């Protein structure tokens, strides 16, 4: 068996979306890495590279009440689309999205960030 290397969400990081990563990244979420109550706030403070129309955020939740029996759904997703300003993201027009950490028996465990247009872009992400 081969070990799987997972990239976990950091408090602050620069995310580059380009052809190499197919214009998307995934970050796993470990609640013990943060001091949060019931929401995870993602703040997009800065961007470099213009032309993308929106950023797609995909929150993946795992249902802890379900077993791993085949065909029993244990992953649920919630999608957000953040429209990018024409001149890019700056501190003046920063974008934010709030994700629930827990809903009933579902826990946030993975976050996907992607753009659909094939445009190289660098995004500064801050978590609170």
Q: What is the CATH number of domain 12-127?
A: 2.60.120
Burial class (CB in 10 A: 0-12, 13-18, 19+), 124: middle
pLDDT for residue 31 = 83
The count of other CB atoms within 10 Å of the CB of residue 47 is 22
For 48-111, the three-class secondary structure string (H helix, E strand, C coil) is ECCCCCEEEEEEEEEECCCCCCCCCCCEEEEEEEEECCCCCCCHHHCEEEEEECEECCEEEEEE
pLDDT for residue 70 = 66
pTM for the whole thing?
Answer: 0.85
**pLDDT string in tens for the chain (128-residue length):** 888 788 888 899 999 988 999 999 999 988 888 888 889 999 988 888 777 888 999 999 988 887 767 666 688 999 999 888 888 888 888 889 999 999 888 889 999 999 877 788 888 888 88
Domain limits, the chain: 12-127
């Amino acid at each position: 068996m081969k070990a799987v290397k997972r990239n976990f969400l950091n408090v602050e990081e620069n995310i580059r979306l380009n052809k190499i990563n197919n214009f998307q990244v995934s970050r796993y979420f470990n609640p013990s890495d943060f001091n949060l109550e019931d929401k995870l706030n993602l703040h997009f403070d800065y961007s470099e590279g213009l032309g993308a129309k929106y950023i797609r955020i995909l929150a993946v939740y795992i249902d802890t009440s379900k077993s791993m029996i085949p065909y029993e759904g244990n992953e649920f997703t919630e999608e957000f689309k953040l429209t990018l300003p024409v001149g890019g993201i700056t501190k003046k027009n920063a974008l934010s999205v709030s994700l629930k950490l827990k809903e009933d028996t579902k826990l946030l465990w993975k976050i996907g960030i992607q753009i659909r247009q094939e445009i190289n872009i660098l995004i500064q992400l801050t978590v609170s």
